[in-house]
Copies of this chain bind each other. A is one copy, B any other.
Amino acid sequence: MIKIAVDAMGGDYAPKEQVEGAMLAVKNIKDIEITLFGKKEEIEKYLTNSTRINIEDCRDMVSMGETDPVRVMRYQTDASMVRAMRATANKEYDCVFTCGPTQCVVIGSHLIIRRMEGFKRPALAPIIPSLTTGQTVILDCGANLEVKPEQLVQQAQYATVYAKEVLGRINPSVGLLNIGTEEGKGREFEKECYKALKESSLNFYGNVETKQILEPPCDILISDGFTTDMVVKTVEGTAKSMGKMLKRNLMHGFFGKIGALLSKKNLNNFKKEINPDEVAGGMIFGLKMPVIKCHGSSKSYAVFCGLRIAATVVRQDVNNKVQEALKKETPLNEGE
């Protein structure tokens, strides 16, 4: 059985959506067992089927607007996210799942779960939709605003194992986000990263412009934490605003309204396709135990999708495979 520690109190709609998502997950994924960390009486309101679902009662929680993540993750020892992480660090569980605030998840991962041996800068890697392959792994989404080229290469190595084991890609290719496709484009950082990626054993595609963000020519897109975060939020914002514009335009005039009505099913499919819930489940790469973080606004279906990723990461033994890959690549640095 794969044992997942779920922070039931993290998220804008917690614990309702987290509990419902957990029930959906155990129903659809046969080899998992879930423990919900959070206020027992709150969780029990929504828990209508407790097959393979346990509760660990926590009297405290991390607030979604938390401004001092270090203090919280260090001292709020009875908060559901902290408890779930500590129990997983102690190997009581195989993996942590949370929809809590990103900075708390990232800092908690560092302080409690800790870095994988030899891995320098853990990265947050969500999955975004792709018209070419269905899904793209994109990183680092805000875990480290600035990184060194060799740290970015390590992150790309983790992403390669992840894309292979979790998304089933054969020989996954890595693209460097840049302002132009030619070698030599970008800041000093991009030039150095280009060189480092080219010299590594990775399947490096080259530079990719953000014009191709939703139909990239590769499986993995990588940049520093600041840039990627800006880009991912731009995709999100553009998709939302375009949805509004579309709605406003479609409901114009009599025939237009009938047309929109007849198109309703197709428009809903479209909405589903661009819905972040469908592709939720960012993983923090480079920790001793896997941590999966979903969007704060996740509904039960998104929670289920995230838990499915969590189960796959454990089942495919991603962390050990990454360790092996890293050892092959940088035998001299492994003790660092």
Query: In the complex, which residues of chain B have a beta carbon less than 8 angstroms from the beta carbon of A231?
Result: 210, 230-231, 234
B211 touches A242 (CB 8 A): no
The interface-forming segment of A41-49, A245-253, A283-291, A299-307 is A245-253
The interface-forming segment of A8-16, A87-95, A255-263, A320-328 is A255-263
Is A215 located at the chain interface by the 8 A CB criterion? yes
Q: Kindly state the separation between the CA atoms of A203 and B39 in the bound complex, as whole angstroms.
A: 45
Give the interface size bracket for A toward B.
35 or more
Q: Considering the complex, give the chain B residue whose CB is closest to the CB of A244.
A: B131
Query: In the complex, which residues of chain B have a beta carbon less than 8 angstroms from the beta carbon of A245?
Result: 131, 270, 273-274
B233 touches A209 (CB 8 A): yes
Contact with B along A135-156 (1 / 0, CB 8 A): 0000000100110000000000
A269 touches B249 (CB 8 A): yes
Query: In the complex, which residues of chain B have a beta carbon less than 8 angstroms from the beta carbon of A263?
Result: 250, 256, 259-260, 263
Is A237 located at the chain interface by the 8 A CB criterion? yes
B255 touches A262 (CB 8 A): yes
Best-buried of A210, A260, A263, A274 by chain B (most CB within 10 Å): A263
Q: Kindly state the separation between the CA atoms of A226 and B177 in the bound complex, as whole angstroms.
A: 11
Report which of B230, B242, B266, B274 forms a contact with A260, defined as CB distance below 8 A: B266
Q: Considering the complex, give the chain B residue whose CB is closest to the CB of A184.
A: B67
Query: In the complex, which residues of chain B have a beta carbon less than 8 angstroms from the beta carbon of A215?
Result: 237, 241, 244
Q: Kindly state the separation between the CA atoms of A253 and B265 in the bound complex, as whole angstroms.
A: 10
Is A117 located at the chain interface by the 8 A CB criterion? no
Q: Considering the complex, give the chain B residue whose CB is closest to the CB of A255.
A: B262
Report which of B177, B186, B213, B266 forms a contact with A249, defined as CB distance below 8 A: B266
Contact with B along A182-206 (1 / 0, CB 8 A): 1000110000000000000000000
Query: In the complex, what's the smallest C-beta–C-beta distance from A250 to chain B, in angstroms?
Result: 5
Query: In the complex, which residues of chain B have a beta carbon less than 8 angstroms from the beta carbon of A229?
Result: 179
Query: In the complex, which residues of chain B have a beta carbon less than 8 angstroms from the beta carbon of A273?
Result: 245, 249
Given contacts A234-B235, A253-B265, 8 further A-B contacts (CB under 8 A): A213-B241, A227-B227, A234-B234, A239-B242, A245-B274, A249-B270, A252-B265, A256-B266
Task: Mark A residues whose CB is within 8 Å of B.
Answer: 67, 131, 142, 145-146, 177, 179, 182, 186-187, 209-215, 226-227, 229-231, 233-242, 244-246, 249-253, 255-256, 258-267, 269-270, 273-274
